[in-house]
Chain A
Amino acid sequence: MSPVVLWVGGLMLAAAAIIIVVRIERGPSMLDRTIALDMLVGVVIAALALWSAAAERTDLVNVLVVLSLVGFVGSVTLARFVAVEPEDEGRILTPEEVRAHDGRMRASLAKESKRRVGGREDAMRRAYPESEDPR
């Protein structure tokens, strides 16, 4: 294969990887970062294929098989865990909010320990009775 293809393709893949890393750094939510990481795996697969064609290294094909099989595990795992996070997970609570939350939870837990029923989720529900059902 001519070195022109290697250089042009390699430079395009390097630019793509840099742009994807910028998206990973910016990504407002965890899911955007997950998508960008999936794209990064795709760029690595393409770069390995390019290198394998340029250097005539046929042993790298096995690495391509493994990467295409394993690449999706990370995004599925992360998406699974994002699903149970609260809506404004990215925000850091102010000290007043933390103090108010602690007070309510402690009062609710104290009330509960007298009756000896329910668990932490019940205490949470009693502390915030008016919160609507998350979809």
Chain B
Amino acid sequence: MSVLDWFASICFFLGCALNLIAAIGALRFPDLLSRMHAATKPQVLGLMLVMAGLAASLGSSQLTWKLTIVVLFQFMTAPVSAHMVGRSGYRTGKVREDLLVIDELTEDLDRAKSTPIPPSSS
């Protein structure tokens, strides 16, 4: 086996192992936010590893660019879905407050509710 083959094999192995570990984490973690924490690791790092392995094993520059585009699309779309899921999870009360170390959003919302709205000077 050449160096590229070794590199591709190690990348594939690490990517698949990351997927498995994240699945175990998503099964065992207690609430929504920690499950999101476990689920988003293979979405980006695992995908990067697998794509690097595929690019090394196919060895064509055209396909390497295409795989770079795959990773870039994931960079763009993963934050969108994580943001939407986290926001609606907070708003529908699926965040367990006893597991949080710090909850700045609730403090901020309370402060915003308690301060009176200044009269507009228009």
Which residues of A are in contact with B by a Cβ distance under 8 Å?
Answer: 1-2, 5, 8-10, 12-13, 15-17, 19-20, 22-23, 29, 31-32, 34-36, 38-39, 42-43, 45-46, 49-50, 52-53, 56, 58, 61-62, 64-65, 68-69, 71-72, 75-76, 79-80, 82-83, 85, 87, 89, 135
Contact = CB atoms under 8 A, between A and B. Distances in A.
Report, as a range, how many residues of chain B touch the other chain. Answer: 35 or more
Contacts of B24: 19
A5 B46 CA distance: 16
B70 A15 contact: no
B32 to A, nearest CB: 6
A30 to B, nearest CB: 9
A53 B15 contact: no
A63 to B, nearest CB: 10
Contacts of B54: 49, 52-53, 61
Contacts of A17: 23
12 contacts: A1-B9, A8-B16, A31-B89, A36-B39, A42-B46, A46-B16, A46-B42, A49-B12, A49-B54, A61-B70, A80-B84, A82-B92
